[in-house]
């Protein structure tokens, strides 16, 4: 299943520069899709280290989805209430 993601222009430029350096240094031509796939695999293999990067991000505002999940008790434990 293919998924389209949006990447800001600066990140696209950095990725293109990285791929150009990879081609020059290693002689490997890699598409952006292949590179992102490998990056995802790396992040999943190094999950604990990768998660540390998220701690540096500013907190997100409450989202409508988050509020809906709370009000619908989605993800809540399935213990019966008395």
pLDDT tens column, 38-67:
999 999 999 999 998 888 878 776 666 666
Q: How many domains does the chain have?
A: 1
Q: How large is the average pLDDT for residues 20-45?
A: 95
* 81 part of a folded domain: no
State the pTM of this model: 0.61
* 42 part of a folded domain: yes
* 80 part of a folded domain: no
* 64 part of a folded domain: yes
* 67 part of a folded domain: yes
pLDDT at residue number 68: 67
Pairwise CA distance, residues 28 & 21, whole Å: 9
Q: How large is the average pLDDT for residues 6-20?
A: 96
């Amino acid at each position: 299943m293919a998924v389209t993601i949006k990447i800001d222009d600066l990140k696209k430029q950095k990725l293109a520069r990285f791929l150009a350096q990879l081609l020059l240094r290693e002689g490997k031509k890699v598409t952006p899709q292949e590179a992102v796939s490998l990056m995802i695999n790396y992040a999943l293999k190094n999950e604990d280290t990768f998660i540390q990067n998220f701690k540096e991000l500013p907190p997100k505002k409450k989202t409508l989805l988050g509020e809906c999940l709370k009000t619908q008790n989605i993800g809540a434990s399935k213990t019966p209430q008395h």
